[in-house]
Amino acid sequence: MRNVRALLGAALALSALLTIPVVAQNNQNGNVRLTRVVTGLERPVTVTNAGDGSGRLFVVEQGGRVRVVKDGRLQPGAFLDLSGLTRAGGERGLLGLAFDPKFRQNGRLFVNYTDRDGNTVIARYTAKGDAADPRSATVLLRAEQPYANHNGGQLAFGPDGYLYVGLGDGGSGGDPQNNGQNLGTFLGKVLRVDVSGEKYAVPRDNPFVNREGARPEIWAYGLRNPWRFSFDRRTGDLLIADVGQNRFEEVNFQPKASRGGENYGWRLKEGDECFDPSSNCARGTLVDPVVTYGRSEGQSITGGYVYRGKALPDLVGRYVYGDFASGRVWAASRASNGRWTTRELLDTNDQISTFGEDEAGELYVADYGSGTLLRFGK
């Protein structure tokens, strides 16, 4: 299986066979464990918080619902139900959620889903009280998807207040349309847009604003399927986990000081090796990943977060990520000389579809197959 969405489809047939994990099955670090928070979720793919002081966690179910976890309990009903707008299955469905940095004042939230035709939609909703109003929808952006896989799905606000949107290369295998390197399409990119108004606007300092033939919304390109990326809440650095093709999974690093425009290589490269062409792939013009791993360790990377909580002092400042297929969890750290090292934290039986942070910076992970939310701790 070559990508996270194909694995998600296969997970449906396996989910009934899984037992609910209470702690990690093989703990590589005795100070880190996973503890069950709630069960009963259906194909969880995003975990986030609203930053509104409520202490709530919001869990996106691929089928189209947003669920709320409050005080360690899964609340009945849905915060938002978009199941009528998407045909979930395989790599499609409701895939991403982000709350406006001013959510407490304006009630705005943003979703990333594939519509019933399989195309990507970025839409804004407004919450009133304990639920979002489904009638408040404003579609901000659409992107046609030529195939059913590699839809990306991540939404996140950066430290600059802009919304960052992850889209895969359009699917199939090997990027047959070469979308990753084509600046004229949204596909295979991270976009950066200003959503403070009624419609989205392009920030004037986006890197391709004045490039003929380029979409000005593009912030970074050369990505295969950036299923999950995140900003370090302390430094503002961006880490993008990109799902690989046949050989390598990778993590790309963009410092907060970046002015955008990085080319992370796909389809010229997979990981740090040439892909198409098989040699002389313009290595000097591309940004190499900071972390890679091969098929002996996993098959589908799920990006996480730089840990900034208090429960695990030894993990502070380390980027925690995992693999959907193998269930392994690693922590990567960057030394003062810029070199990155990794160590395995956990070897689980979980189908790791997403990580999440609460308002205090504590870390969570979702098991797609069993519909379980787990918390990192001692």
Residues 297-318, mean pLDDT to the nearest whole number: 98
CB 181 within 8 A of CB 196: no
Residues 237-260, mean pLDDT to the nearest whole number: 98
Give residue 164's identity as a one-letter amino acid code: Y
Q: Confidence band (pLDDT; 50, 70, 90) for 321?
A: very high
Name residue, tokens 């701790």: 377
Neighbours of 165 (CB within 10 A): 30
Token digits of residue 153 = 């799905």
User: pLDDT tens digits for 10-20?
Assistant: 443 333 333 33
Residues 145-157, mean pLDDT to the nearest whole number: 98
Amino acid 306: pLDDT: 98
The Cα-based distances of 139 to 71, 88, 170, 186 in angstroms read: 32, 19, 20, 16
The Cα-based distances of 138 to 125, 134, 163 in angstroms read: 7, 10, 15
Between CA 373 and CA 112 the distance in angstroms is 21
The Cα-based distances of 84 to 79, 88, 93 in angstroms read: 15, 10, 10
Q: Sign of the CA dihedral 130, 134, 139, 144? A: positive
Residue 89 has pLDDT above 70, yes or no: yes
DSSP type of residue 289: P
Q: Confidence band (pLDDT; 50, 70, 90) for 24?
A: low
pTM over 0.85: yes
Amino acid 33: pLDDT: 97
Residues 40-69, mean pLDDT to the nearest whole number: 98
Domain ranges of the chain: 4-377
> For a pLDDT cut of 70, what percent of the chain falls above it?
92
Residues 87-108, mean pLDDT to the nearest whole number: 97
Amino acid 283: pLDDT: 72
The Cα-based distances of 35 to 19, 61, 363, 374, 378 in angstroms read: 14, 20, 11, 5, 9
Which residues is 126 bridged to in the sheet? 108, 133
Residues 202-224, mean pLDDT to the nearest whole number: 98
- For the chain, the first-to-last Cα distance in angstroms comes to 33
| Class of the CATH-defined domain 4-377 | mainly beta
CB 108 within 8 A of CB 81: no
